[in-house]
Structure 1
């Protein structure tokens, strides 16, 4: 997901449940954005040359492993995991995004796709996966205790979890004028061709629910732009080399 836009996705909400309504809006937005996003995620410097290398640097060898791509979007990580020898199950809330994800891998690839909401219980059995990768998807989920609890349930013991999200220091401050209280989980909206609601949270709320739901923290990576980023976005290279944009985390199921 490009840094200047919200970091990737529920069943319809109701007037009595504003969180679900906002999640529905995110789903609807990504249904509408799917075609342009499929191109953008491959070509945008923030995706291809900042977040993607940062996140993939934390993923262990996946040869022969069964991996859940949670919030798979248009399938960039699914394709990369398949190329690494994994059997991959991609889940996303947007059917339009899933259509692109299916096109991202060969017809005979060991990959399958399901429409699903990360804010709800996953449809998979306990201990069903060796690893979970969730790239720029969790910003659309308010309750990380619930989603990390589900990730732990579907992971075998010693399975890995790698996720990325917008860096709290990038999402709070002058570039996020609607953010009012760093210590709160706040609902913000970003304008990308359509309005996309998402949640920003303090750094502690990235890690507390992870540790509270049966994971051991292994690594935290704050990626810096690559040389390819400099070539593509020279006017942004210096700033993004000195200010965090994304944070990537690896943990192990205990």
Structure 2
């Protein structure tokens, strides 16, 4: 763990990991997005038809495409140039998505109050300056606009967390440690190098959102539906503790 590594290093690593990351994504995203995040996020959205929507941290663009197919006018940004290239390659010409390279900590190329809805799916833990990112989301929303974002659950996915296993490999319980550490830690995702994540407490997230000018409208700790369990029985273990948390906020 180190507090000194910032967003610039995270960008370099995600850019190198982009092709391998995208290879694991279908038009519904990866398996965790299909099972947990997509249903949770869409349950918090009233409608996107004819709305101006920002996909803040779009990755390879699957969620942007889902939004556009549902009738939204989508602008999508990502801080990895390679991710943006892949998203453009995967997007049919008839989908109204404007892809732009940009870091959510500073989206000065986008005008104030440009969007009715902002979605940020598994992005905020990839940013060192989450306070600035929240300020940017607030600036870009219309009055009473909504901001929905998902992250790794900070109470359970910590710099030192993982399964405690028996000698024969049975999962006994989930260990959590270093919850109050706030800073950078590494997690193995790709084969070439570890990815960087920026941990902060639930208190820090909530206090920063309120200070920025957001009101909490809803919160979900996603768990697998019966339909998803039939498709992916191994996710039964996810009833033991949540991996993700999803927030819906409104601009005051």
Q: TM-score, normalised by structure 2?
A: 0.85
1:164 pairs with one of 150, 156, 167: 150
What is the RMSD computed on CA atoms of the aligned residues?
A: 2.3
SS in 2 for 1:197: strand
Please list, as runs of the form range in 1=range in 2, the aligned pairs for 1:204-215 lying within 5 A after superposition.
204-215=203-214
2:242 pairs with one of 241, 244, 251: 244
**Shift of residue 106, structure 1, vs aligned partner:** 1.8
Quick check: 1:185–1:202 contact (8 Å CA) kept in 2? yes
Q: Which residue of 2 aligns with 1:175?
A: 162
**Shift of residue 180, structure 1, vs aligned partner:** 5.6
2:57 pairs with one of 71, 78, 81: 71
**Shift of residue 176, structure 1, vs aligned partner:** 8.8
Of the structure 1 ranges 35-44 and 173-182, higher mean CA displacement relative to structure 2 is found in: 173-182
Q: Quick one: distance in 1 between partners of 2:34 and 2:134?
A: 26
Q: Which residue of 2 aligns with 1:24?
A: 8
**Shift of residue 151, structure 1, vs aligned partner:** 0.8
2:184 pairs with one of 177, 187, 206: 187
Q: TM-score, normalised by structure 1?
A: 0.84
Q: Quick one: distance in 1 between partners of 2:71 and 2:178?
A: 44
The structure in which a higher percent of residues are strand is: 2
2:22 pairs with one of 38, 43, 51: 38
* Residues 197-228 of structure 1: CA deviation (Å, up to 9, x unaligned): 11122111221111111111100000101345
CA gap of 1:44–1:78, structure 2 versus 1, over 3 A, is closer
Quick check: 1:46–1:229 contact (8 Å CA) kept in 2? no
* Residues 53-92 of structure 1: CA deviation (Å, up to 9, x unaligned): 2222212211111111000000011001101111111000
Please list, as runs of the form range in 1=range in 2, the aligned pairs for 1:2-13 lying within 5 A after superposition.
none
Quick check: 2:117–2:146 contact (8 Å CA) kept in 1? yes
Q: Which residue of 1 aligns with 2:171?
A: none
Determine which structure has more spread, i.e. the larger CA radius of gyration.
2
CA gap of 1:174–1:152, structure 2 versus 1, over 3 A, is closer
Q: Quick one: distance in 2 between partners of 1:175 and 1:40?
A: 23
SS in 1 for 2:100: strand
Of the structure 1 ranges 241-250 and 27-36, higher mean CA displacement relative to structure 2 is found in: 27-36
Q: Quick one: distance in 1 between partners of 2:145 and 2:138?
A: 9
Q: What is the count of residue pairs matched by the alignment?
A: 235
The structure in which a higher percent of residues are helix is: 1
Gaps of 5+ in 2: 165-174
Quick check: 2:55–2:118 contact (8 Å CA) kept in 1? yes
Of the structure 1 ranges 40-49 and 96-105, higher mean CA displacement relative to structure 2 is found in: 40-49
